[in-house]
Structure 1
Amino acid sequence: MKKIVLFVCTLILTLFSSAQQAERIKIEVAPNGRDLKIYPLPAKEGSPVLFINQYGMPGFEIEGESRFEWSEYHDATEGKPESINATKITYYNNLDHDGFLASVESIELEYYDRLPGEAHSTKLRYINTIEITYYDIMQGPPKQGKIKSIGNIQLDYAYGFDNEGKLTRAGNYRIFYHQEDNRSGKSGKPDTIEGNDERLQLILTTLL
């Protein structure tokens, strides 16, 4: 049975699976084209698997039976897991990032400083050495605050009335959607992928 752990702050939790730059990053695109799960690190059997969504919110997912130890401190970590099976989990304890996920075993997470008015303020910046950048507020609602790049993989999203805010590019892949039309059961859903990129595994869940 699969267990999903969720954090508040700049966290959200479910699954990561694929790699540092030597291995392929995996991106799963939901049927709405807007919700992403990005898995930049390889999964280890029995360990939580780390992922981020399109806004850089980190999380992890656990397969099978698991043993949790929960924080009992009366602070920002209260009620959050300190370990899952043998995997130790730590959190930040500072003004800008209090209670934010800091590490999952050997995986370290770093965040941007708090910068009022900046779309990347307090968002996840590094997963180990993998850098994450974001679209700024000048890009408008379809893009602002969403991931612009993870490592050397560039992401882009649709402007305009039709399919606004949906992922349209990931590395060398292009993603196309059915036109939004309430009379069609395929309205706005992912249609096809074009291109090839050996750095990346791209999955449209409606094509499975």
Structure 2
Amino acid sequence: MKNKGLITTTIIFFIIVNTSYYWKGKLDFYAFPTFLILFILFLVLNIALIRQIYFAFKDKFKDKKRIVTIGLLITVLTLTFLKPFGFINFEKFEAKNILIAEREGVAGCMTTLKLKENNEFTAKSVCFGMTETKGNYKIKNDTIYFENIKLGRGEKEFYEFAVIKPLKFQNDIKHFELLSYKSKKDTIGHGLKVILNELK
């Protein structure tokens, strides 16, 4: 790659990685191939860096543009290695989490539900892909009702309401689970372990 094309590719790669917070939840089953492509591109940029350093030594660092390219590559690749999902935690700019519940399934699959202080919620499901459902919630008595639901890619339905109950087979009353139900006819529910609870 020419230096100009290499610089452009490096900058685009950096932007994509550091804005993943906003787009990774919309990929569903495209998430894995997308991250695989980004990983391959990361390796390609490392090879390009080694090549640029070789030519820099060869011309005794006389090419200033090449030195700038090397500096850019080292910065981007180092930041990506240290913070592969972006060095800015965009969630800090959102409303405070007042409840977090999660459940790990087979093959490393994970479901995480977060209730925000501003009455918004997010539900992320990671399993050979990633989907994110968003909406609002309201609390009436001991029940959490989900409203204005925006289903994630590939999702067909979401839960209608949820309740917090003590975990079975636990003597310590501080351990709870969030049981979510798709309708009033749903008698089984879907349980998530509560790891943060600051609900009033």
Q: TM-score, normalised by structure 1?
A: 0.23
More helix per residue: 2
TM-score (norm 2): 0.23
Greater CA radius of gyration, 1 or 2?
A: 2
